[in-house]
A and B are shown apart, each in its own frame.
Chain A
């Protein structure tokens, strides 16, 4: 009988034991180690770190193992852990111009200082299942050469010199508001919007960005530059009186250059969209840049055309997959009290309709 949802204590224990068994799978197959996940499922690890808002590849790998590969569940584990951590302070802004790039491409200039570096990308692979990989995943040795140390200035900087692109203005020196420590309140400035977008669900952000490409607030984006690599993180230590490097992180940065005809307030020039995400997460970074640009309609004096991607309240309130999945999935919790109230109401309304019909039939 379904009333078994009552007396839930033993049911919960048993469910947890069963879950643990299913997570492990067939015991005759070797167990997956956290190191293996970190090294060989690194793009999943990157997604969990970026949407979990916590840069720790080992913990992200552990979360993926614990969640049986359900990445949103893994992100949730990381978020829940993250809230328990003490806050020592904020880092200095990272300088992505100083990035050690694994990949750096521009879709707007054929060649440029620092060059185009393709890096480890799926872009030009043929998507053919590699059956050899099923038996043997070892890679052949390849020739290496020392990296050429060449500065890689930002592409948008070149346009900036000609005044063809809007200035990237420092909004203020005030530290940005912290979405994880303050409730989201609207209107949200750009730094807060970017903060929400960098931890937003990849699928949601992709869908929003795609909708702008298909004409819902189209903003004609070119990938001015996409760069992936490591940057040092520095933090000001009050006792020392200066900033020291506390580690380095891998990030993906996307700057889009968007065509812009000018508006009531701005001259014709290129405008910018920006994406910055932990790890190698270029689909997300490009999506973020497109959505960022769409959300900037107001400050650029553009018209609100009613597109979802322009609507900050719509985007920001629905982009977080932990909030979304929680509320969506909670409808499987018992609702019999509310449902009972609805049952009574529907019965009452039906009784009245039927009584009326009988009366009409009698006439």
Chain B
């Protein structure tokens, strides 16, 4: 498609985004403001992730897109098609073969490698947002490393429910400094962020923020000594590949509400099924 520049955005814009990414990598977990552009898909559909992907993609890259862990959900299909059209990059569903993976709400089950980039779509980048709605205040709190409010919230959860009542977008602390929103991944995925060989980039289009984790960054899920963090998932196994360790989706299969559990990571599940058949 020749009417648009490679990967849709013009080079000036990509340069501006890359500067934000580099700043983010230099200060892991810090939210860098950037001049987010209006993309041809709506805010909320992954415009932040799309802009980050557009800025890091090169013609030699192999691109994978997942939404809820799956390559074939409608929005993943749509974003993959967007870059097939505007960047003509090779695409894949295989986690191992991809050099850039854009994701919404999941981290792939297969461990990532050095050289890979994982791009997260982020709706609300501010982990303190629902405790303090004002951006002017939350930026101050990050600057002063004032995270008391967050600890009080977690403590109140335990006092009321006996547990920390956050099951996704579970807050993490980066290298002992910034509290960061991991995007709405289930807390099951949180441990995969830490010490990961891949570069992890986070783009929030509507909120105009980019943040990043360089390879092998320490990411700690917030908890208390007597209430340690627990990466939970349904205590079931996948009906298709029998995995007991992957994150599962619950699917209602008949009118009486019978359920089955299947891997949310479709590539992981399909690869296991193929191996078992061989």
Contacts and interface: CB of A to CB of B under 8 A. Distances in A.
The judgment on whether A and B are partners is yes
Interface of A: 1-3, 5-9, 11-12, 76, 79-80, 82-84, 86, 180-187, 313, 317, 322-323, 325-331, 333-338, 340-345, 348-349, 352
B233 interface: yes
Contacts of B39: 80, 83
B136 A186 contact: yes
Contacts of A182: 35
28 contacts: A3-B251, A5-B74, A8-B72, A8-B75, A9-B72, A12-B74, A83-B37, A183-B208, A183-B209, A187-B136, A327-B43, A327-B44, A329-B42, A330-B42, A333-B75, A334-B67, A334-B73, A336-B68, A337-B184, A340-B186, A340-B247, A341-B167, A341-B188, A342-B167, A344-B234, A345-B163, A345-B165, A349-B165
Contacts of A82: 38
B115 interface: no
B106 interface: yes
Query: Which 4 A-B pairs rank lowest in CB-CB distance, beginning with the nearest?
Result: A330-B44, A326-B43, A8-B74, A341-B167
Contacts of B266: 6
Contact of A84 (B4, B247, B252): B4
Q: Is the interface of A mostly helix, strand, loop or mixed?
A: helix
B70 interface: yes
B34 A83 contact: no
B72 A338 contact: no
Interface string B45-73: 10100000000000000000001111011
Interface string B226-254: 00000011100000000000011111110
A338 B45 contact: no
B249 A340 contact: yes
A186 B135 contact: yes
A12 B78 contact: yes
B272 interface: no
Interface in B178-235: 184-188, 206, 208-209, 232-234
Contacts of B135: 186, 313, 317
A337 B163 contact: no
Contacts of B33: 183, 185
A343 B259 CA distance: 13
B40 interface: yes
Contacts of B168: 337-338, 341-342
A316 to B, nearest CB: 10
B262 to A, nearest CB: 9
A86 B186 CA distance: 41
Nearest to A331: B44
A80 to B, nearest CB: 4
Contact of A12 (B68, B77, B206): B77
Contacts of B91: none
Nearest to A332: B44
A360 to B, nearest CB: 16
Nearest to A84: B4
B42 A325 contact: yes
Interface in B78-119: 78, 81, 104-106
B192 to A, nearest CB: 14
A349 B163 contact: yes
Contacts of A83: 37-39
Given A330-B44, A337-B106, A343 B38 contact: no
A322 B43 contact: yes
